Structure formats: structure tokens, C-alpha cells
Amino acid sequence: MNRKKFITRAALAALFAGAATPVSAAGKRRKKKQNPESRAGGPMSIATWKHGMEATAEAMRVMQEGKSALDAAEAGVRVTEADKTNTSVGLGGFPDREGIVTLDASIMEGSGRCGSVSFVQGIDHPITLARKVMEDTPHVMLTGRGAEMFAQSLGMVKHPNTLTEVSRKAWENWLKEKQYKPIINIENHDTIGLLALDQNGKLAGCCTTSGLAFKMHGRVGDSPIIGAGLFCDEEVGAATCTGLGETVLRTLASHTAVELMRHGATAQEAAEEAIHRIVKKHSNFKDFQVGILVITKTGEHGAFGLHKGFNYALHQHNSHRLIDAAYYSQAK
């Protein structure tokens, strides 16, 4: 190995091997990259997109009652799921190409306990169903009809397949051209991923979505896949993703970010590297959007979008704000 390669490798090893301060190729100590909005300390709740404002408010309210991060994360995203004007989460979501709304959701605690449901129809709160899978079954994931049968056994109502007025119109419009191009571009996105850290230092996260608009019937994205749309580990931190799920699935971006932190990256460095990996594996990265939120077990956070436009809600230290994330590229 020549000297230059050796130094570069040594620098990379230092960056992700738990060194307090990474060493640059020139051998100098480099300051670790932090998100300028990040300040440690719980309780905190952080969530994707503008609709994250209501969700993080509810999550914080629940934690202030003394409840856990898990209760808070679930309660927070239930607000988004219940909002029928939201066209990317819950039953108000845009349907698949057959005109059917199918929902995906996952929930995870820092302890490693987790549950998820995918391809579920007619259920108001897939996140609560995911939690029931975690708590009341020996499984991690239930899908489709089986998940719906489980929901009904718990007394959850299964609604007939009716679209909201807005979704029906959007679908009818889509039917005119039936362009089958996954459309999570820079304007068309959403999904809620919410991470919470409670007053006892416990971590939890939730991710819930109606998925890609006008997807193939049966398509499942990253949101219900543990490690892709969501990952939490109390030894390190947690991450959640939004955007074109296929790209997040190919790179297991949430798990990747948490593992990078385990090996010494800050939350911001982990978020950025997870997006860089998506860029490396997708030459068409200009055509879609992805955003990631990452928190450490002490409440620091990182956020990064593939393109301009990804924002997130942060509720922490008596402040509640919508923040524009840094991003990889402005190109479209």
C-alpha cells in the first residue's frame, strides 16, 4: 500500500472507530461536524416535514405527562394518521394505481423491541397495530390480510375502501396518463418519521405512511422495514427516513446511520454519510428526494436531505420549530 493510501485509510478508520476527534489525511485533528441547531438534552421529539409540528407537539405533551418515549412517539404520529387532509399518511393518503390506499408503519424502542405492519387497508391507525404486533405477538411484522385480521381481532374498525375527495380526484387525474414513474420527487413527498427521547433517557421511534402515490398494488416501501425507514438502539441513537423508499431499502439507511454513530460519527455526519451512500448507488439521484433524521442517545441531532426542501420539526428545550435541513444537491 502506498503512503497516501495508507494515510487516507488511517484517517477513515479514525473517523469511524470512536476517536473523539477525527484525524485528517494531513494528520491534523479535524473538528467533528455538528448540526448547528443541535443541543443535547431530553425530553425531545423530532419529526419529518411540516406535519411533524403537530406530531412533535403531541409527543412532547405526552412526555410532559411523564409517559415514555414509546407512548409519545405513537401518540405523535397518530395525530398525522388521523388527519384526512394529509395525502401521504393514513387513510387520507393517495391510493395505489388500482385506487386502493395501502398503509405501512413501524415502531421501535431503544431496547430493540419493534413491530411493523405493511400493505394494510382500511385501518385508521397502522402505528397502533404495529405496536400491538410488537407487544402482543411473538413476531416483528404482519402484512396485508393477516395484519387486518389481527386488527379486527383487537376490535379495530376496518373501513371499506373509500377514497377522500382529494385522493379520488388525484387518482382520476393520474389515470388519464397512467404514467408509471415513482413520483417522490422534490415536490411530492411526505410520510412521518418521529423520534423521541424521554426524561428517563429512553429512545423510541415511529414511521407511518401511505407510501408512494400510485404505486403498484402490493408495493411496500422502506417505512415498515426495520433498519430502512426506522432504527433505534439505546446504546447509540436512532434514525428515520422519508423519501423514495426503494433507495432507502437498498442502503438500509436508518441502520447505516446508527451504526456509523456507533463507530464514532456525530449525528450530522451519520445523516450525511447515509445520504451519500444513496447518491453513490443511484446515478438517477437527481430524480427523487430522500431525507433522514438522526438523534444520539443524549439528544443531539442530525438532519440531511438529498435535495433542497427537506424540513423537520424539533421540540426540545422549550423551543418548537420547523427547520430547513442541509442538503446534498440543489440540482433537479
Instruction: Please identify, using beta-carbon distances, which residue of 22 and 182 lies nearer to ligand SD4.
Output: 182
Contact code string over 212-231 relative to ligand SD4, x by CB under 6 A: x--------xxx--------
Q: Which of 92, 95, 243, 305 binds ligand SD4 (CB under 6 A)?
A: 243
- Establish how many alpha carbons lie within 13 A of residue 245's alpha carbon, considering only the half-sphere containing its beta carbon: 25
Residue 63, C-alpha cell as written in the block: 412526555
56 contributes a contact to ligand SD4 by CB under 6 A: no
H or E, element range at 3: helix 3-15
Contact code string over 76-105 relative to ligand SD4, x by CB under 6 A: ------------x-----------------
Instruction: Please identify, using beta-carbon distances, which residue of 212 and 295 lies nearer to ligand SD4.
Output: 212
189 contributes a contact to ligand SD4 by CB under 6 A: yes
Catalytic pick among 191, 209, 242, 266: 191
Is 191 one of the annotated active-site residues of the chain? yes
Length of the chain: 332
Residue 330, C-alpha cell as written in the block: 440543489
Question: b/e per residue, 62-95, with b = 16+ CB within 10 A?
Answer: bbeeebbbbbbbbbbbbbbbebeebbbbbbbbbb
255 contributes a contact to ligand SD4 by CB under 6 A: no
The piece of 61-69, 172-180, 195-203, 205-213 that touches ligand SD4 (CB under 6 A) is 205-213
Helix ranges (DSSP H) in 119-164: 126-136, 144-153
Residue 153, C-alpha cell as written in the block: 381481532
**Smallest distance, ligand SD4 to C-beta of residue 243, A:** 5
- Report cis status (omega within 30 of 0) of the bond before 43: yes
Q: CA nearest 225: which of 88, 77, 116? A: 116
Instruction: Please identify, using beta-carbon distances, which residue of 22 and 93 lies nearer to ligand SD4.
Output: 93
Residues classed as catalytic = 191
**Binding footprint of ligand SD4 on the chain (CB under 6 A):** 88, 184, 189-191, 209, 211-212, 221-223, 242-245
